[in-house]
Each structure stands twice: as structure tokens, then as C-alpha cells.
Amino acid sequence: MKNCFEIKKMYLHYGEFLALKDINMDIKKGKVTAFIGPSGCGKSTFIKSLNRMNDLIEDCKIKGKILFDGKNIYKDYDVNVLRKKVGMVFQKPNPFPMSIYDNITFGPKTHGIKKKSKLDEIVESSLRDAALWEDLKDRLDRSALGLSGGQQQRLCIARTLAVNPEVILMDEPTSALDPISTLKIEELILRLKKEYTIVIVTHNMQQAARISDQTAFFLLGEVIEFDETKKIFSTPKNKKTQDYINGRFG
């Protein structure tokens, strides 16, 4: 199985504060990888590093290597090319204050696609992939802000798919959603993994167990254990992992 990301001896500082320590991880292509761990342990910091979202934070310093498709994300990629290949969906649905159609075509247009027929095609296929086409096809010109929270989050996933990425990073994508919308996103993730590599941060253990192939347990900026999800949840090697998944802390 080919690796999508290879992280080697990565350290991340915010100013003097060491937020990630000696991270070593291979994230497999075409799989779902989950990051779990208590609040403040560095999950968001780490997932954001994978498409260089931390570049925007002034006193953030990264050491070590992050390889994507075998190439260094800092040295061998233009950041815009990297972010096109590695899309991101956030905790709170954040559609742009514009129509559903324009939300989806925003990315493709910035990448130079102008033809109306091509844009129409992208809108339909992205919404289909995000299981929204049937719901929304008759109101593409309406504001995205009028959608329910669950629909907004699926629209944000559709918007990410519209630029044809290889990887989708998701930081707690269902934490603001009701249980039914959460299940819809989980089903969506399971379908999407046939074509994309997915990395997801979640506080929901059942969710990690249901949808991921590999799980990393973070604690205080370190990866305590990283293994097949089955093993993490049935026979974790580390006592701290065991305690966390059994709800004994965090």
C-alpha cells in the first residue's frame, strides 16, 4: 500500500511552546486515518500542518519532514498546488455568503476554469458525490447560508471535491451536527474513501471506530500509539491509549 503522507521527526513550536514532538507517521493512500486524543493535545495543529495551514501563523516553526507523494511539502510544492491536492473541511460549516452554485465553482474558477458547461458539470458531480444533488438541484441560485447545518457541511465537502483533490483533511467535521447529519457525513466519508485519502480528527470514539482504517492517539503533543483502528480499539499496546478509549481521561 502506497503512502500518501510520510512524516519524519516532525517538531512544531508556537513561539517557545512545543506543540508537537517527534511525530513519525505514514498515512496510507485511499484509507481513512483518524486522529483522537484529549483537547489541546495537538490534533488540529498536526492536521493543519499537512496542507501548510500553519504558514499563516507567524510564530509557528516546524522542524523535520512532511512528505506528500514522496515530496517535501515545504521545498517541493507551491503552497497553492499543495492546497489544491490536499483540501480541508473545518469543524464549523463555513460556506461562502453566496449562492450554492457559486460556492462550488469558486475554487475551479480560481484555477482557471471558465466554461459554463464545464462549471455546470463540476457543480453536478460535486453535489452528487456529497449526496446533495437531489436535495439542491432546483435551488442552486439560492444562498448557501439558507441551508441546514448538515447540508452546509456537505456543501463544504462538495466545495472541496470541486477542485479534484487527492486528500481531504477534516477537523471534527461533525461536532456541530445532529446525529442524523453526522451519520450522513460518515456514510459520505466511507463512499469517498474509494477515490480519496481522508484524514479526520474526531472526539467521537465510535466515529473513529466506525469509519477509520488507521487511528493515531495523541497526548500532550506526542503520538502515543498509531496502528490499525481495529487494534487500537481492541488491543491497544499502550496503557494510556487503553485508558483514553475506555473514557478514563480526556
Closest CA to 188 of 229, 103, 129, 104: 129
The nearer residue to ligand ATP, 56 or 180, going by C-beta atoms, is 56
SS3 for 135? helix
- Cα–Cα distance measured from residue 11 to residue 23, given in angstroms and rounded to the nearest whole number: 7
Binding string to Mg ion for residues 17 to 56, with x set by CB under 5 A, is what? Answer: ---------------------------x------------
Distance of CA 26 to the CA centre of its chain: 16
The nearer residue to ligand ATP, 1 or 17, going by C-beta atoms, is 17
The nearer residue to Mg ion, 105 or 212, going by C-beta atoms, is 212
44 is a site residue for ligand ATP (CB under 6 A)? yes
45 is a site residue for ligand ATP (CB under 6 A)? yes
- Binding partner of 57, given ligand ATP, Mg ion, none, CB within 5-8 angstroms per partner class: ligand ATP
CB 137 within 8 A of CB 126: no
First to last CA, the chain: 33
Residues 53-112 touching ligand ATP, rule: CB under 6 A, are 57
- Cα–Cα distance measured from residue 117 to residue 120, given in angstroms and rounded to the nearest whole number: 5
Lateral strand order in the sheet of 214-219: 86-89, 167-171, 197-201, 32-36, 214-219, 222-228
* From candidates 41, 136, 162, 199, binder to ligand ATP by CB under 6 A: 41
- Binding partner of 41, given Mg ion, ligand ATP, none, CB within 5-8 angstroms per partner class: ligand ATP
- Cα–Cα distance measured from residue 200 to residue 229, given in angstroms and rounded to the nearest whole number: 13
The nearer residue to Mg ion, 44 or 126, going by C-beta atoms, is 44
The nearer residue to ligand ATP, 37 or 108, going by C-beta atoms, is 37
* From candidates 11, 14, 106, 133, binder to ligand ATP by CB under 6 A: 14
The nearer residue to ligand ATP, 18 or 113, going by C-beta atoms, is 18
CB atoms within 10 A of CB 117: 7
- Cα–Cα distance measured from residue 3 to residue 20, given in angstroms and rounded to the nearest whole number: 21
51 is a site residue for ligand ATP (CB under 6 A)? no
Binding site for ligand ATP (CB under 6 A): 14, 17, 19, 37, 39-45, 57
Binding site for Mg ion (CB under 5 A): 44
